[in-house]
Structures are given as structure tokens and as C-alpha cells.
Amino acid sequence: MSRSICALLWFSLSSYCAPAVAQEWLLAAEQPAITPLEAEASPSDASSIEEEPVDLQSLADRITELEKQLEEQAAAKEGDPLDMKSSWGKNGWQAESKDKKFRVHVGGRIQMDAVALDTDDLVLNNSRDDDSVFFRRARFRVDGTMYDTTEWAAEFDFVNNANDDPNSPATPVDAYGGNVIGVPAPTDLWFLWHEVPIVGNVRVGNQKEPIGLEHLCSSRFLDFMERSYLQDAYYGPFNNGFTPGIAISDWNADETATYTLGAFKNTQNVFGYDTGDNEYALTGRLTCVPYTACEGAQMMHLGMGASYRGLDQDADPARGNLRLRSRPSLRNGPGPLNPTIADTNFSGRLFAESEVLLAPELAIVNGPWLLQTEYVGAFANSTVFTPNGGAPVNLGQTFTNGAYGEVLYFLTGEHRAYEGKEGRFGRVVPNRNAIFRRNSCGLSGSGAWQVGVRYGYLDLRDDAFDGGQIQDITIGLNWFLNPFAKWQFNYVHQIVENRIVNNAGQVTANNDGTLDGFGVRFAWDF
């Protein structure tokens, strides 16, 4: 082969061949050409050259093979697309694959409270107005994404508490005994598919039912230490606000409108199960943002939630199957030790076929200002009331209701962040984090400071039964050190009006008076 032909092949293959192969071609091209005299001296070699023409197909196959090797080398250099790279995301530590189809987040939340309650007027239903220091929540969570369109979450609360002897009044555990113990319980425990035809998203497992703006807001991002009376009475009376079921949801392209609809088991405990005839719930919510400006610093949220809730028809009517109650707006210890200040059980037992909740909601953000309000009207159908010490009474449909309204203001200029896909408020991110340093001031940055006030009421009176009426004013101060840690300070003044009736039907207390409390919380999540 002549030098010119070899050079041409070298030029053509230089961008495709591996370096070692290219060098081999170059060395061959640099060999001196065979002269006619040399060819005569070596007739056998010359005839060999003439009898072996260039095989273009073999060259093409070789080029294809080399290209494949180069691609494999490039892929090996980039690494496995499923290799995970860790980072600090919006909710803490997470690891994500290079193609972003797989993600895992490991974290949790801790909330440590110190609370003091005081009353001189009230009979607190076998509970007390003690001072307390305790962990309100201590949850461990693992969640993530797999195969791009599938999400999952597994979270457990390790300071959930229960009375291990329900036939006896709850007593704190100390050196001499007690029956209130810690029992871990699931909260979010679900699997979710995105981009499902027609419906959008499908979530299966233990989850929050889609009703209530305050209820759906994570406990990490609450404006006050405790939610309003609506949570205790209607949204999560005995199940911590989580129920097992299946829900569908979606949102529009601008994330200004959402819908969610689900079917759930109407549970009466925190362990994600229940047994009974007809205890199923159908719950839905619609939200919209009719106005938004300044990248969300100005906006209006409107929402409407509704729920049809079947009640256990296997229950003993004298024992009841519907209990509406609320504890104070500050908790002074584990749940079983908290006083109950309004309760339909104060005067007797309710048995009903079903319950219907209607829950409109409104929120307005105007720069550092937030106005938020919700109302719940609850209708119990085919109600039978058995008063303490009396005979059952058919009441037909009964009605109870509650509401709250709150106003908050950021002293440092932030605004409440809105999560359009969920139709709720999310994490507060300070303009400047508060960081402690060894300098003359000791503190770099102010963090975010927020003040607020909330008014709430709950009315559990209707016809023959009297669960009482309660009102409260809560004044709050929040100091967000950074997006993941904050201090909360709450003062609560509550006005209570109810009667307590014993098993003989006698009124043992006209439980009218006030309950005051002060609470401090340090909370962090990761």
C-alpha cells in the first residue's frame, strides 16, 4: 500500500480510532515503500500484496467496533446514572441520581415544649393544669422518588403516647407508677404515582385527608404552637389527622387551582387501622388562587373542603359512636394527660348514622401580612342521644360548628410562602439567617421575626346535648433562626362555658371560667 493511501486512511480514522490503533496505522504509513527492484528480489512477497486487496467491509466493522469502545469509555468516565449524589435540599439532606429519576431524603422533626396552664375556675375532667416540659413531636422520616414519576414516604412519631390502662384515669409516669406510655405510631406512610391518565396523581396509604388549610399545613410550619379547635374536634380527633385510604389529585399548569378527592377508613386511633360497620369517609377539597403578584408576595387563596363520614353501626348506641371534643390551645404534656375543656361526653353519648363536614377557607398574603380564616359546619344525621342517667332520645339531624381567624406580620419583611401544587403554606425562609459567631456581637443576622394573634371558637351545643362552648385568644411570637429551626412563644387566654353531668344525670359542675397558659417551643427539622 502506498504512503499516500495510508496517510489518507490515517486522516479518516484519526477521529474514530482509539489512540493505540491510530498509532499503529501511523507507524505502518511511515514504512518505506517497496521499490520495483525489491519486488523482483522478493517475488513471493509482491504476489502476496497483490493477492490481498483492501477489505472495506472489515474496515467498516472495525470502525464500528472502535466507536462502540469509545462510547463505553465515555460512559464509564461519566459513571453509573443510578449513582447517588448527596446534597442539602429544601427539606434537608437528600441524595439524587444523575438522571434525577431517583431521590431519597432522610430526616425528621423534633419539637420540645415547655408549657404552664393556670385556672382557678374550671373542673378539668380528671386532668390538671400542671406545668410541663416534654417533646411534642419526635418523628423520623424517609421519603423519595423512584423511576421519575413515583413517590413514597414512611414517617413514624416516636413520642406518641397512650394510656396503657384505659379503664383508669391517665396518670403520668414517675417513680411511683403511672400509666401513660410512649407508643410509636405511623403518620405519613404512603405511595404516590404521578402523571396518571385522567386523574393526575394517585396516593395510597396512611395520609392526611384533603380538608382544612391549617390541617394540611405541616406541623413544621404552623403559625402557632397548636392548631385551632377545628383540628381536635373535626379533622383529627383521635387519629392524629392521618387515615388510611386512596386519593386522587391534580393541579393546573400555573399551579393556581387544585383538586383532591379520596376514600378513607374513618379511624378512631393513631395506628392506621380500624374495625367496624360503615366506618368509611369520602373527603374532597378544591382550591384556587384568584390573584397573585410580586412572585407570591401578594396573593389570595380560596378553598372549600367537604367530607361524608360513616360511623360505626356495630357500636352500642348507649356507648355512642360520635364524640366531639377539644383540648386547650396549649398542651401541657402527653395527649392523655391534657385536660378536655369541651366534650359532648360531658352530658351523655351520641350515636349517629353519619357525619357531614363543610369547611370553607380563605387566606390573603400582602407582603409581610397574612390573614387566614376557616370555618367548619358539622351535621350529624339520624342522631340518638343517651344522656347520663337517662333514656335515649332521637334528635334527628344535629349541628355543631367552629372557626378561627388569625393575622400575622413579619417584622423582618419576609412573606408566607405558598405551595401551589398542594394548596397550602410551606417553609419560612428568613432573609438573613441568625448565626452565632465569636465576635463582639455574638450573633450574625437577625433571622425572621413574626408576631400574630388568633381568635377561635367551638360550639358543641345542640338541643338535648351540651358539649360546651369555648373561645380563645392566642398571641404568638415566632423567631426563625434559619429555614430549619425556630423558637415559638404563645400566650393563650380561653373562655370556657359548659356543664359536667355525672352518670346519675346530676350536674356536678357549671364549668364556666377561664384558662390561661404560656408556652415555649424550640423546633427543628432536617
Look at 88 and 230; give whichever has higher pLDDT: 230
Q: How confident is the model at residue 22 (pLDDT cuts 50, 70, 90)?
A: very low
pLDDT at residue 180 above 60? yes
Average pLDDT value for residue range 433-448? 79
Work out the pLDDT band at 439, boundaries 50, 70, 90: low
CA distance 490 to 499: 28
Express each pLDDT in 254-290 by its tens digit: 999 999 999 999 999 999 999 888 899 999 999 999 9
Count of alpha carbons within 13 angstroms of residue 336, beta-carbon side: 23
Q: Are the beta carbons of 8 and 26 closer than 8 angstroms?
A: no
Q: Which overall architecture, per CATH, does domain 84-424+436-525 show?
A: Beta Barrel (2.40)
Average pLDDT of every residue of the chain: 88
Whether 416 and 403 have beta carbons less than 8 Å apart is answered as no
CB 131 within 8 A of CB 115: yes
Size of the chain, expressed as the number of residues it contains: 526
pLDDT, tens only, 32-66: 555 444 444 444 454 444 556 667 888 888 888 88
Give the mean model confidence (pLDDT) for residues 184-207. 97
- How far is C-alpha 292 from the geometric centre of its chain's CA atoms? 24
Q: How many CA atoms lie within 13 A of 213 on its CB side?
A: 31
* Alpha-carbon distance values, 337 to 33, 174, 199, 203, 472 (Å): 101, 13, 43, 34, 20
Query: Which whole-number Å values give the CA distances from 117 to 109, 133, 255, 340, 477, in the listed order?
Result: 25, 12, 42, 13, 18
Domain ranges of the chain: 3-78, 84-424+436-525
Q: What is the pLDDT of residue 77?
A: 62
Work out the average pLDDT over 508-518: 92
Read off the pLDDT of residues 367-410 as tens digits, 9 standing for 90 and up. Answer: 999 999 999 999 999 999 999 989 999 999 999 999 999 999 99
**For the residues 298-319, what does the mean pLDDT come to?**
96
Share above pLDDT 70 across residues of the chain, in percent, rounded to a whole number: 87
Say whether pLDDT at 31 is over 90: no
* H-run or E-run covering 64: helix 56-78
Residue 348 pLDDT > 70: yes
Q: Looking at 342-392, which runs of residues are DSSP E strands? A: 342-343, 348-351, 354-366, 369-387
pLDDT in the model for residue 26: 40
Residue 135: CB atoms within 10 A of its CB come to 14
- pLDDT tier, 366 (very low <50, low <70, confident <90, very high otherwise): very high
Least confident of 32-36, 192-196, 284-288, 333-337: 32-36
pLDDT given for residue 9 in this prediction: 43
Q: How far is C-alpha 425 from the geometric centre of its chain's CA atoms? A: 11
What was the pLDDT predicted at 69?
Answer: 85
Residue 505, pLDDT > 90, answer: no
3-state secondary structure labels for all residues of 473-510: EEEEEEEEEECCEEEEEEEEEEEEEEEEECCCCCEEEE
21 pLDDT above the threshold of 50: no
Kindly state the average pLDDT of the residues 332-353. Answer: 93
How high is the pLDDT of residue 55? 77
The angle subtended at Cα 454 by Cα 467 and Cα 416, nearest 5°, is 130
Give the model's pLDDT for residue 29.
46
Percent of the chain beyond pLDDT 90? 68
Q: How confident is the model at residue 13 (pLDDT cuts 50, 70, 90)?
A: very low
Say if residues 192 and 162 touch (Cβ distance below 8 Å). Answer: no
Q: What are the pLDDT digits (tens) for 205-260? A: 999 999 999 999 999 999 999 999 999 999 999 999 999 999 999 999 999 999 99
Q: How far apart are CA 400 and CA 381, in angstroms?
A: 12
**Candidate ranges 11-25, 67-81, 171-185, 347-361; pick with highest mean pLDDT:** 347-361
Please, is 301 exposed, middle or buried when counting C-beta atoms within 10 Å of its C-beta (0-12, 13-18, 19+)? buried
Asked if 526 and 92 count as a contact pair (C-beta separation under 8 A), the reply is yes
